[in-house]
Structure 1
Amino acid sequence: MKVCELLALLRDVDPSSTVLFLEDYSDLSETDEILDVIVPDQVWTYETGRCGRERYSVRYPEPFEQRGEADGYRDVAHTTERVVLLVNGVTNYRRMRLPERLPPPRGLDDAKT
Structure 2
Amino acid sequence: MTFRASRRPRSSGNRKASVTLASGFDFNVAGRYPLGKRFEMVAQLGAFAWNADYTLRNSGGDFLKREDSGFDLTYGAGLEYGFDSGLAFTGGWTRYRVENESIDFLGVGLQYRWH
Provide TM-score, normalisation by structure 2.
Answer: 0.23
Structure with larger Rg: 2
Q: Which has the larger strand fraction?
A: 2
Q: Which has the larger helix fraction?
A: 1
Structure with bigger RCO (C-alpha 8 Å, 6+ apart): 1
